[in-house]
């Protein structure tokens, strides 16, 4: 195994004149990209006095600079701490203090947020601004201009931490996940074993935020091959369609919610998507009706990656598994997360950490070289998730006799109604099969008689309408047990709240007064 800084160095030698990144009209060849990475890396060490193992936080939206930073910091032996730019000031403060970040790379537009919390920051003293704000002593582009573009003289090993990404915090304070060079390279192998047609000629489009693990590991995977990356500042469905047509994008990465909005965009059919070779999806469960629609409309190969920030990709649903016609047991695989990846072990355990029989629901546990080094400064949390060498994911699921893993739901999202285990995803998939439903989340809310009852929060597609009675009737036509049918359906006009990975944050829904109940 190597270290990720070597990928850029090798690509600069192999493809010096080939574009590495394209962002808003700015292009850098692999040679220029590597020179910028080296200059920035050396400036971090020589000008700022940072030393191996120090943390450097990043607060910005997508750009070529984000990828430059991941490689520059890794070459210097520094640890990147990406921060979701959508977080509130108090949440950003928590991450900066918890990580013990020594420096912050910040876009000018987020300086007002930082100024709110400066007096409460414990260790952070160095600020590098992206932009031209006069209040910043250090400027990103100036650091590159003033830096030495020779390869940094820092010894880095495969087990060194390159990134401390914070979990989304959907159930409380986020935890810093320590990811190593080895984790990332093993993950590359896992993905490329599934995407067997991948080559340096691919042109991926970076759409999810690079402060989320899904966007990072897939971008890294194709940077590994020397591909040209086209980067969008943020996800907009129309901009995705424009970019695919303009740049002849071959690889597209979208979460299910992103894919849904792209396919449902009123101008979808006006754009040429024939260049697409592969759509990689993950980050949250994909409703089968949406997946079928995507396969029919985009007419390219699909790969699903099941995993998390803590373990990267541990299961893959390969292109040959995306079958729309055929035996029922084969079509059913569209609802699965695929089979365990080459460098991963995946099992289903009961509450006593014993393996359950095939077909029985339990907690998904994993081990392998893509699993994180651990949570930063969280001894109790590490003891909780790492037991007997297995990482406990908190996901509930089962494995069929052919080894396909089916994710039933998050362990913390499951609730009990009248003594029956309710798995929200099962109900959500039924709603997603309705033509008028754009987004759906099912949560458990208190009920005096049953303990909790399922409540469905629904966002309808633009221009469409449907009554609560019609959706109830839609549920009745399914084979859903009576006790699992929602006791209430709530319609909302705005998109459901999501984290940086595109997952719906159900904790926020439970707390919203629109439900008429208190969680």
Specify the pLDDT at position 418.
Answer: 59
Q: Cα separation of 149 and 38, whole Å?
A: 5
The DSSP bridge pattern shows strands 176-180 and 161-166 to be: antiparallel
Specify the pLDDT at position 330.
Answer: 87
Give the residue-averaged pLDDT of 117-145.
89
**pLDDT band for position 412 (cuts 50, 70, 90):** confident
Q: Cα separation of 235 and 217, whole Å?
A: 17
Q: Cα separation of 314 and 332, whole Å?
A: 20
Answer whether residue 218 shows pLDDT above 60: yes
Q: How many CA atoms lie within 13 A of 201 on its CB side?
A: 4
Which tokens belong to 269? 């059919």
Specify the pLDDT at position 505.
Answer: 76
Please give the residue that has the higher pLDDT: either 447 or 225.
225
Buried b / exposed e along 379-406 (16+ C-beta atoms within 10 A)? eeebeebbeeebbbbbbbbbbeeeebbb
Spatial neighbors of 435 by CB under 8 A, at least 6 apart, are 461, 464
Answer whether residue 185 shows pLDDT above 50: yes
Answer whether residue 519 shows pLDDT above 70: no
Which tokens belong to 117? 């919390």
Burial of 267 (0-12, 13-18, 19+ CB in 10 A): exposed
Specify the pLDDT at position 475.
Answer: 81
**pLDDT band for position 142 (cuts 50, 70, 90):** very high
* Least confidently predicted of 18-22, 42-46, 83-87, 338-342: 83-87
Specify the pLDDT at position 190.
Answer: 92
Q: What is the mean pLDDT of the chain?
A: 89
Q: What is the pLDDT of residues 100-113, one digit of tens each?
A: 999 999 999 999 99
Answer whether residue 439 shows pLDDT above 80: yes
Percent of the chain past pLDDT 90, that is, above it, reads: 63
Q: Cα separation of 5 and 151, whole Å?
A: 9
* Least confidently predicted of 84-88, 127-131, 145-149, 302-306: 84-88
**pLDDT band for position 424 (cuts 50, 70, 90):** confident
Specify the pLDDT at position 284.
Answer: 67
Specify the pLDDT at position 203.
Answer: 98
Q: What predicted TM-score, i.e. pTM, was given to this entire model?
A: 0.84
The DSSP bridge pattern shows strands 103-107 and 55-59 to be: parallel
Specify the pLDDT at position 103.
Answer: 96
Specify the pLDDT at position 428.
Answer: 84
Specify the pLDDT at position 170.
Answer: 47
Answer whether residue 517 shows pLDDT above 50: no
Specify the pLDDT at position 518.
Answer: 41
Closest by CA to 3, choosing from 82, 72, 68, 74, is 74
Backbone angles phi, psi at 281, to 5 degrees: -130, 160
The DSSP bridge pattern shows strands 103-107 and 312-317 to be: unpaired
Beta-bridged to residue 181, according to DSSP, are none
Cβ 472 vs Cβ 463: under 8 Å: no
Give the residue-averaged pLDDT of 393-401.
92
* Least confidently predicted of 122-126, 326-330, 446-450: 446-450
- Local structure of 398: helix, strand or coil: strand
Strands (E), 89-160: 103-107, 126-130, 138-139
Specify the pLDDT at position 448.
Answer: 67
Specify the pLDDT at position 419.
Answer: 62
């Amino acid at each position: 195994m190597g270290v990720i800084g070597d990928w850029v160095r090798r690509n600069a030698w192999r493809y010096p004149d080939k574009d590495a990144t394209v962002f808003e009209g700015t292009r850098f060849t692999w040679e220029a990209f590597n020179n910028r990475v080296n200059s920035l890396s050396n400036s971090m060490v020589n000008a700022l006095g940072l030393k191996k193992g120090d943390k450097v936080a990043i607060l910005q939206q997508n750009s070529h600079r984000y990828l430059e930073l991941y490689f520059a910091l890794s070459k210097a032996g520094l640890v990147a701490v990406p921060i979701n730019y959508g977080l509130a000031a108090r949440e950003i403060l928590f991450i900066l203090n918890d990580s013990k970040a020594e420096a912050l790379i910040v876009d000018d537009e987020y300086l007002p947020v930082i100024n709110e919390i400066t007096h409460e920051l414990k260790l952070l003293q160095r600020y590098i601004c992206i932009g031209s704000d006069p209040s910043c002593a250090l400027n990103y582009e100036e650091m590159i201009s003033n830096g030495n573009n020779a390869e940094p003289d820092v010894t880095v090993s495969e087990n060194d931490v390159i990134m401390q990404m914070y979990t989304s915090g959907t159930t409380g304070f986020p935890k810093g996940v320590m990811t190593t060079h080895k984790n990332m390279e093993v993950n590359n192998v896992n993905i490329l074993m599934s995407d067997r047609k991948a080559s340096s000629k691919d042109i991926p489009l970076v759409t999810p935020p690079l402060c989320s693990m899904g966007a990072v590991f897939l971008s890294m995977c194709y940077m590994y091959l020397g591909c040209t990356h086209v980067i969008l500042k943020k996800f907009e469905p129309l901009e995705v369609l424009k970019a695919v047509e303009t740049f002849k994008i071959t690889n597209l990465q979208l979460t299910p919610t992103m894919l849904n909005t792209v396919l449902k965009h009123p101008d979808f059919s006006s754009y040429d998507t024939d260049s697409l070779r592969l759509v990689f999806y993950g980050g949250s469960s994909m409703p089968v009706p949406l997946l079928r629609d995507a396969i029919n409309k985009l007419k390219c190969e699909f790969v699903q990656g099941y995993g998390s920030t803590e373990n990267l990709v541990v299961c893959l649903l390969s292109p040959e598994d995306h079958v729309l016609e055929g035996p029922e047991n084969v079509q059913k695989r569209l609802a699965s997360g695929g089979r365990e990846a080459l460098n991963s072990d995946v099992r289903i355990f009961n509450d006593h950490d014993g393996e359950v029989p095939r077909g029985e629901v339990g907690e998904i546990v994993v081990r392998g070289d893509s699993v994180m080094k651990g949570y930063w400064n969280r001894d109790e949390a590490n003891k909780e998730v790492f037991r007997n060498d297995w990482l406990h994911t908190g996901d509930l699921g089962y494995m069929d006799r052919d080894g396909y893993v089916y994710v039933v739901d998050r362990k913390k999202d499951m609730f009990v109604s009248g003594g029956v285990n309710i798995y929200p995803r099962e109900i959500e998939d039924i709603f997603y099969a309705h033509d008028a439903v754009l987004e759906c989340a099912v949560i458990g809310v208190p009920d005096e008689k049953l303990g909790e009852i399922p409540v469905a929060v629904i966002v309808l597609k633009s221009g469409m309408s449907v009554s609560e009675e019609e959706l109830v009737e839609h549920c009745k036509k399914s084979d859903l047990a009576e006790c699992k049918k929602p006791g209430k359906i709530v319609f909302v006009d705005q998109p459901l709240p999501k984290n940086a990975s595109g997952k719906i944050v159900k904790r926020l829904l439970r707390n919203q007064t629109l439900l008429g109940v208190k969680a």
